[in-house]
A = this chain, B = another copy of it.
Amino acid sequence: DTTPLTIETSVPFTSHQCEAPSRSVETTPKELLSFFRQMATMRRMEIAADSLYKAKLVRGFCHLYDGQEAVAIGMEAGITKKDSIITAYRDHCTFLGRGGTLLEVFSELMGRKDGCSHGKGGSMHFYKKDSGFYGGHGIVGAQIPLGCGLAFAQKYSKDETVTFALYGDGAANQGQLFEALNIAALWDLPAILVCENNHYGMGTAEWRAAKSPSYYKRGDYVPGLKVDGMDALAVKQACKFAKEHALKNGPMILEMDTYRYHGHSMSDPGSTYRTRDEISGVRQERDPIERIRKLILAHDLATEKELKDIEKEVRKEVDDAIAKAKESPMPEPSELFTNVYVKGYGVEIVLMSHVRESLALKYC
C-alpha cells in the first residue's frame, strides 16, 4: 500500500546555520510496515547475538545496536544504495540496513566462511561494498575522515551521491573530526557527518567527555541539525534534507539523539554509569519500534495481531539464519594468507611464512 501519508515528527528539529526541514514527513503504509519489520529484525538479531556471545559462539568484542535501530532504518529510507555509508564497530544493523543478510551477520560473528568478511573481520568489521557500505571500523573517529574521503571520491567521480559517516558522541571529540570537517568544508565535499548520540561513550556520559555536547554544532561554520534519533521518520526527513544540502553546498552534521539499551560491549553490564530507570524510561517512552507500532495501529495500517505475526516471522528468520550459520564451516586454513594483498602472494611477494614453518607443515 503506497498511499501517501503525512506524519509529524516527534519533536521539532533544532538547527544550526541552516533552516530546519519541515516536521511533516511523507511516508506510506508500506514504508511504515517495512520499518517495523526491519527494526524488529534488527532488534531480534542483536538479542540473538547477545545469546550467542554468552554461549561463547561469538568471541572478542561485540557491540550491539538495539535501541538505535531508527537511525539505520530512517537513513536508508532517505537515501539510496548508491550513497555510501561508513560507521564504527557497532555495525551489525547498519550492514543489515544496506542489504546484508542475517546469515552473513551470524556467520561473521561466529567466524565462519559465510560471514560478510568470510570470518576474517569479526563483529567490528562488516562491509558490503556492492551497496556502498564501507565498514565497520574499530578505531574511534577514524571513519570520519575516511567517510569524507568517500565523499571526495564521489565528487571527483561526479557521481552525484553522498556519504554518511556515522560516529558516536564519544568519537565526536576526536581531533580528526575537526580536521576532516574543515577539509570537507573547504572542498565542498558531499559528506554528512552523523553523530549517533547515545549519550555515553563506553562508561562516560557525554557531558563528562565534551565541554560542549551540542554535537550538531561541532563545526561552527557547518550547518547542523539535531534530530530525534528514535523517530525513524525524523531521521529519514533529516537524511533526505542533508543529502540535498550536501550535494549543493558541502558537508552537514546531523546529531541523532538516540540510546543504546545494551552495555557498550558484551563485557559491560551497562548499568554502573546509568540508572535502570533511565534505561526503562527510554524503552517505555521513546522506543523506536514501539513508536512505529503505535503509528501503524493509530492509522489502522495493520492489526496488533498482524504485527505480532511479523515479529514471529522475524524471530524465525533469525533462528533459521543462526542454524544455517552454525553449519557454515570455519574458513580454510589457507585463508590465513589470502587478502593481505590484492594479488595474494605471488612470486614477487616473499611471505615470511617459513618464519613459522609449522604453519606450512600443518596447513599449506
- Chain A residues in contact with chain B, CB under 8 A? 173-179, 182, 185-186, 208-212, 214, 217, 219-222
Taking the closest CB of chain B, its distance from the CB of A214, in whole angstroms, is: 8
**Contact between B179 and A175, CB atoms less than 8 A apart:** yes
List chain B residues, Cβ under 8 A from A174.
Answer: 175, 179
Q: How far is B211's CA from A219's CA once the two chains are assembled, in angstroms?
A: 10
Q: How far is B212's CA from A211's CA once the two chains are assembled, in angstroms?
A: 20
Task: List 4 tightest A-B contacts by C-beta distance, closest first.
Answer: A175-B175, A185-B211, A212-B221, A178-B178
Q: How far is B181's CA from A174's CA once the two chains are assembled, in angstroms?
A: 11
Q: How far is B211's CA from A211's CA once the two chains are assembled, in angstroms?
A: 22
**Contact between B217 and A220, CB atoms less than 8 A apart:** yes
**Given contacts A220-B217, A220-B220, A221-B211, are A182 and B186 in contact (CB under 8 A)?**
no
Taking the closest CB of chain B, its distance from the CB of A352, in whole angstroms, is: 23
| Chain B residue at minimum C-beta to C-beta distance from A175 | B175
Q: Assuming A173-B182, A174-B179, A186-B211, what are 5 further A-B pairs, CB within 8 angstroms?
A: A173-B179, A175-B177, A175-B178, A182-B211, A186-B210
Q: How far is B222's CA from A212's CA once the two chains are assembled, in angstroms?
A: 10
| Chain B residue at minimum C-beta to C-beta distance from A251 | B211
Q: How far is B156's CA from A357's CA once the two chains are assembled, in angstroms?
A: 54
Taking the closest CB of chain B, its distance from the CB of A222, in whole angstroms, is: 8
- Please, could you name 12 A-B residue pairs with CB atoms under 8 Å apart, sorted by A? A174-B175, A175-B176, A175-B177, A175-B178, A175-B179, A177-B178, A185-B211, A186-B208, A186-B209, A186-B211, A212-B221, A214-B220
Taking the closest CB of chain B, its distance from the CB of A149, in whole angstroms, is: 16
| Chain B residue at minimum C-beta to C-beta distance from A250 | B211
List chain B residues, Cβ under 8 A from A185.
Answer: 211
Q: How far is B186's CA from A182's CA once the two chains are assembled, in angstroms?
A: 23
List chain B residues, Cβ under 8 A from A212.
Answer: 220-221
List chain B residues, Cβ under 8 A from A211.
Answer: 182, 185-186, 219, 221-222
Q: How far is B221's CA from A214's CA once the two chains are assembled, in angstroms?
A: 10
Taking the closest CB of chain B, its distance from the CB of A151, in whole angstroms, is: 15
| Chain B residue at minimum C-beta to C-beta distance from A218 | B220
Q: How far is B219's CA from A222's CA once the two chains are assembled, in angstroms?
A: 14
List chain B residues, Cβ under 8 A from A177.
Answer: 175, 178
Among A175, A208, A210, A221, the one with the most B-chain Cβ atoms within 10 Å of its Cβ is A175
| Chain B residue at minimum C-beta to C-beta distance from A212 | B221
Q: How far is B219's CA from A185's CA once the two chains are assembled, in angstroms?
A: 17
Taking the closest CB of chain B, its distance from the CB of A243, in whole angstroms, is: 20
Q: How far is B178's CA from A291's CA once the two chains are assembled, in angstroms?
A: 37
| Chain B residue at minimum C-beta to C-beta distance from A184 | B211
| Chain B residue at minimum C-beta to C-beta distance from A179 | B175
